[in-house]
């Protein structure tokens, strides 16, 4: 009954934490492609090929359902994977869906025409690859009209978080928010479009100001998965053991992950 959770690095651990709290009886296998991280600076074909390889590894662990807890992979690879690569007995889900559900206040299965929503000015903070893909804007346009989205590529932020340099990370957050505000002075909502960014949510909120609603993904994804598994219990895979796998150096990744989540995390070589 295992479920796979994939990210290029450690950011997806924020999602995993929320998933394990919401679904304590489900074993999760977390795969970090640390050898090739970060994905945010790679081109679309490279991201697609690396993501497919990681998902296949999680299928081998008995995870018929895999969550791409990586916005870059969700933006650059997921649609192509679902349309031409994923077998009928497997599922690969991304992390944009719960965000758009929350922002538009409608269920993903609601296929009615796009309609106006309360929030009109949205700031999107994401990796360069996610910004280039325009995947968030495309999916949002299917469900809402009249929403102005201004995207800010947050170069360097993932690397600073992965290395545990929070002083640099906070400085980068302030710099990227300042750059965004020069383009959109008064956003009403902000999307943290990378699973690393929830660790910096307080910094984003402080830089944006109290009048901006900041949407973070972890809890939204957890609720969405719980609802999905209730509707599709057959997608729980045959795997019975959870764990942590990495393509990087397991000792170094374990140390960084332990610092990242402030609890003991032990990775094995993938």
pLDDT in tens, 203-243: 999 999 999 999 888 888 999 899 899 988 888 888 889 99
Q: Which of 52, 63, 154, 194 is catalytic?
A: 194
Determine the topology of domain 97-215 in CATH: Rossmann fold (3.40.50)
Conformational region of residue 116, where left means phi above 0, alpha means psi within -120 to 50, and beta covers everything else: beta
Q: Which stretches does DSSP call E strand in 76-161?
A: 91-93, 115-116, 121-126, 144-145, 148-153
Give which of 77, 101, 99, 81 is closest to 91, Cα–Cα: 81
Q: Say whether 52 is catalytic.
A: no
CATH code linked to domain 3-95+218-269: 3.40.50.1860
Give which of 198, 269, 236 is closest to 67, Cα–Cα: 236
- Mean pLDDT over the full length of the chain: 92
Q: Is 215 annotated as a binding residue?
A: no
pTM as predicted: 0.87
Q: Is 36 annotated as a binding residue?
A: no
Q: Which stretches does DSSP call E strand in 146-222?
A: 148-153, 189-192, 213-215
Q: Is 39 annotated as a binding residue?
A: yes
Query: pLDDT tier at 156 (50, 70, 90 boundaries)?
Result: very high
Alpha carbons 91 and 174: distance in angstroms, whole number = 38
Q: Say whether 194 is catalytic.
A: yes
Give the whole-number percent of the chain exceeding pLDDT 70.
99
Residue 109 or residue 124, greater confidence: 124
Portions of the chain given CATH number 3.40.50.1860: 3-95+218-269, 97-215
CA quadruple 4, 9, 14, 19: dihedral, nearest 10: 0
Q: Is 46 annotated as a binding residue?
A: no
Query: pLDDT tier at 88 (50, 70, 90 boundaries)?
Result: very high
* CB-CB contact of 223 with 22 (8 Å): yes
Q: Is 196 annotated as a binding residue?
A: yes
* CB-CB contact of 99 with 217 (8 Å): yes
From residue 63, alpha-carbon distances to 26, 59, 233 in Å are 11, 5, 13
pLDDT at 259 over 90: no
């Amino acid at each position: 009954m295992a479920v796979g959770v994939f990210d290029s690095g450690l950011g997806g651990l924020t999602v995993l934490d929320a998933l394990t709290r919401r679904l304590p009886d489900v074993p999760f296998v977390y795969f970090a492609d640390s050898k090739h991280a970060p994905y945010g600076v790679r081109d679309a074909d490279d991201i697609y090929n690396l993501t497919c390889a990681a998902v296949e590894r999680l299928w081998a662990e008995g995870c018929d359902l895999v969550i791409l807890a990586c916005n870059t992979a969700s933006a650059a690879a997921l649609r192509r994977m679902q349309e031409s690569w994923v077998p009928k007995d497997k599922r690969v889900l991304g992390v944009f869906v719960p965000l758009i559900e929350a922002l538009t206040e409608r269920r993903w299965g609601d296929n009615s025409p796009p309609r106006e929503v309360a929030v009109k000015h949205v700031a999107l903070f994401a990796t360069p690859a996610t910004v280039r893909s325009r995947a968030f804007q495309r999916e949002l346009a299917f469900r809402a009209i009249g929403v102005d989205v201004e995207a800010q590529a947050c170069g360097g932020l993932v690397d600073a978080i992965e290395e545990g340099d929070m002083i640099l990370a906070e400085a980068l957050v302030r710099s990227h928010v300042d750059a965004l505000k020069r383009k959109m002075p008064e956003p009403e909502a902000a999307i943290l479009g990378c699973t690393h960014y929830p660790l910096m949510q307080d910094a984003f909120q402080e830089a944006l100001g109290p009048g901006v609603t900041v949407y973070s993904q972890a809890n939204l994804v957890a609720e969405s998965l719980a609802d999905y598994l209730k509707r599709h219990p057959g997608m729980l895979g045959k795997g019975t053991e959870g764990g942590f796998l990495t393509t990087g150096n397991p000792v170094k990744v374990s140390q960084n992950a332990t610092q990242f989540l402030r609890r003991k995390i032990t990775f094995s070589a993938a």
